[in-house]
Structure 1
Amino acid sequence: MLTLHADTPEQYHAAVADHPALLVDFHKDNCPGCRMLAMSLAAVASTPEAHELVLLKVRLEAIGEVFFRSLGLRQTPTLSVVRDGQEVLRLPGFQSPDAIRAALARSA
């Protein structure tokens, strides 16, 4: 799974436009659940469910709370599955590797 980073709203929108399948990880630095989720994402990265996906890491401190809230996000961590520019699934809070794999299978 290719990993990209978006530090600005423009980078976020460009990634959504350029990649047909994205798994977006909205996180922040001082969040224990975010660090745990990073370990789950690492475990999922080499699985068949993640093969076609690009992981887009979006850090709240970099992109800004105004943009974060404009997407309807309320907490970190939050995972979002985006297909063809549209969010098809949102998973708030920590997710285990099994939960992420199941969500990716459901949203395929």
Structure 2
Amino acid sequence: MQILHAATPDAYHAALRDHPSVLVDFHKDNCPGCRMLDMSLASIADSPRAAGIVLLKVHLETIGEVFFRSLGLRQTPTLLLVRDGHEVARLPGYQSPKQIGDALAAAMAT
């Protein structure tokens, strides 16, 4: 799984435009669920279900809350699965490796 970082809204939109399958990780500092989610993401990064998926890390304090809210996001961590520029799944809160893997498999099978 390739990992990218978006520090601006333009970088966020460019990553979604340039990569057909993106798992977006919205996170912030001092968020226990975000740290736990990082461990889940690390454990599935090399799995077959993650093949061909780009992980886009978006730090809330860097990109700004206005942009975060403009996407309809309300909490961190939140994962978005984006395929061909369209959101296909939204996973708010901590997700286990199995939950992430199942969501990737379901979203990429459609």
The two structures have a TM-score, normalised by structure 2, of 0.97
Distance apart, 1:78 and its partner CA: 0.3
Which residue pairs with 1:29 in the alignment?
A: 29
Q: Following the alignment from structure 1 to structure 2, what is the Cα–Cα distance between the partners of residues 42 and 19?
A: 20
**Structure 2 partner of 1:17:** 17
1:2 counterpart residue number: 2
Residue in 2 aligned with 1:68?
Answer: 68
Query: For the aligned residues, what is the CA RMSD?
Result: 0.4
Structure 1 portions without partners, runs of 5+: none
The SS at the match of 1:72 is coil
Amino acid aligned to 1:35: R
User: How many Å separate the matches in 2 of 1:107 and 1:14?
Assistant: 21
1:1-108 alignment to 2 at 5 Å?
A: 1-108=1-108
Counterpart of 2:68 in structure 1: which amino acid?
F
Deviation of 1:55 after TM superposition, in Å, equals 0.2
Secondary structure of the 2:36 match is helix
Distance 2:102 2:17 in 1: 25
Deviations along 1:10-66, one digit per CA (max 9) or x if unpaired, are: 000000000000000000011000000000000010001101100000000000000
Counterpart CA distance in 2 for 1:98 and 1:88 is: 18
Calculate the TM-score normalised by the size of structure 1. 0.99
- Number of residues of Structure 1 aligned to a counterpart in Structure 2: 108
Partners of 2:107 and 2:17 in 1: CA distance: 18
- Deviation track 1:75-106 (CA, whole Å, cap 9, x = no partner) reads 00000000000000000000000000001111
